[in-house]
Structure 1
Amino acid sequence: MLEALAGVFETDGLLWLMMGVVAAGLVRGFAGFGSGMIIMPVASAVLSPVAAVTFMMMAELLGPLPNLPAAWREGAPRDVARLMIGAVITVPIGILCLSVMDANFFGWVVSISVGILLALLMTGWRYKGELTPKLTVVTGGLGGFMGGFAGVPGPPVIMLYMSSRLPIAVIRANFLLYLLAIDVVMIAVFFVLDLFVWKIALLGLMAGIPNVIANMIGARLFNPNAEVIFRRVAYLVIALSAIIGLPIWK
């Protein structure tokens, strides 16, 4: 552990990682999601896949905590619990696939899928059906797999809720609760499977400090009455994640 601590500040790409964490915190505080989509492309460029996911989930762990009480009041914890039923089942599967599935192929699948769904949203498509418990569990399961495999558990849940008619304050709160809960599950699975890269885990935890500050600033910028701005920011984050996630940049 002491050796890991001593090597934290010698990590390659440290400045880029810190910049990514701050940008991710601002977006997460404002929109309730998007941090993994920002951190993972940066982390993947300088760290191994397992180390990158380790950094992401540890860096995200502390950031949303100041906004947690408000999210609990404004959101729908029961819906988030249903999302987590699916996620708990699939997170370990995604993590186990992390070391055996071709990352380039998966990158293409994720980026193309996100791009198609974004186009549907921007053309005015909305999910008009009921957010049934079964649909919510399945969506959480897909998000859990993507979180375990690629560190981006948000897209399926984002697409489900951003296409709904729910108030943006509820959507934002549910995003925050779900993403925090899935980080906790992923950390537990990494620990059980002894996959932690301890130097990177410590670096991610330390990066949580500027992440907290950035989350608080982002939350102050959020206006529940500015739905148009909220959706535009959400669409921009999704589009950037799809573009940055393309394997052609690696």
Structure 2
Amino acid sequence: MPEYFGQSPTGLAIILCAAFLSGVVRGFSGFGTALIFLPIATPFLGPFGALIGLTIMDIFGPLPNLRRAWRDVERGDLVRLVAGCALLLPVGLWLLTQVAPEVFRYTVSILAIFMLAILILGLRYHGHVGRTMVAGIGATAGFLGGIAGLPGPAVILFYMSRPLPVEVIRATILLFLFAFDFLILGYLTGMGRVTWPTLALGLLLAVPNVAGNWLGGWLFRPEREILYRAAAYLAIALAALSGLPLWG
């Protein structure tokens, strides 16, 4: 059987479908790319291969929605989130080099299910939010982004609890994750993990991911927030379960 990018035709098709689905969810919710893509793609690509493919495609994926996001974003929070993230991201990446691939895969799925449970249960932080706390959330996101490829949960849970318009929440999360992609790609390049084959695969994955982001952004309507969240939650749950050793 022929291989493409080191994958069978079936494996490559599954990875491409994961890229498209994760793009659709991110397009209408502002998050979900890693939560959907990593549990599905890691068994085929390994931890670093999945991270690099995700990062490269994710740089292109949100492009159709950046202009609207920049108009709505809370810019002060965005700067503090990115600064905190840059501090602890390399620590998480170093720890990832010390664990087995299966640990990464199961950690991704368990964190996705944990975040999903918190969102569904409606658990929220209602205390005072200062600038230092925002930077701390960014640092936590950086660490989780390094060790499990999931910078989103900490930021998503934090912003879901804030009394801000849905447009602002969506834009801040989307732009933070966009900035995270450049940070992690820089660190991974410095670690010597980025190769020409992984770059090529990432560029290939960007095609369905951009299409999915465009479709999701086109579908997004603030007045249908409940419907979008329900769809995102379902997609995340299915992807997370697919990454666990439940299917033999």
> Do both share a fold (TM > 0.5)?
yes
Cα-to-partner distance string for 1:98-145 (whole Å, 9 max, x where unaligned): 110345456555655554554344333332123321221111111111
Cα-to-partner distance string for 1:141-167 (whole Å, 9 max, x where unaligned): 111112122222111111111222221
State the match for 1:214 in structure 2. 212
State the match for 2:156 in structure 1. 158
State the match for 1:3 in structure 2. none
- Are 1:77 and 1:177, in contact at CA under 8 Å, matched by a contact in 2? no
Change in 2 beyond 3 A, CA 1:91/1:194: same
State the match for 1:177 in structure 2. 175
Matches within 5 A, 1:61-210: 61-105=59-103, 111-112=109-110, 114-210=112-208
State the one-letter code of the partner of 2:4: F
- Are 1:8 and 1:200, in contact at CA under 8 Å, matched by a contact in 2? no
Distance 1:19 1:120 in 2: 27
State the match for 2:6 in structure 1. 11
State the one-letter code of the partner of 1:209: V
Unaligned segments of structure 2, at least 5 residues? none
- Are 2:89 and 2:142, in contact at CA under 8 Å, matched by a contact in 1? yes
Q: CA deviation at 1:8?
A: 8.9
- What TM-score, normalized to structure 1? 0.87
State the match for 2:237 in structure 1. 239
Change in 2 beyond 3 A, CA 1:60/1:8: farther
Distance 1:70 1:42 in 2: 30
Change in 2 beyond 3 A, CA 1:195/1:227: same
- SS at 2:163's partner residue? coil
Q: CA deviation at 1:234?
A: 4.1
Distance 2:244 2:89 in 1: 23
Distance 1:120 1:21 in 2: 25
State the match for 1:29 in structure 2. 27
- SS at 2:97's partner residue? coil
Q: CA deviation at 1:48?
A: 2.1
**Count of residue pairs the alignment pairs up:** 244
Aligned-pair identity in percent equals 39
- SS at 2:22's partner residue? helix
- SS at 1:20's partner residue? helix
Please report the RMSD computed on the Cα atoms of aligned residues, expressed in angstroms: 2.4
Cα-to-partner distance string for 1:163-205 (whole Å, 9 max, x where unaligned): 2222111111111101100000011111122111320221112
Q: CA deviation at 1:222?
A: 0.6
State the one-letter code of the partner of 2:48: V
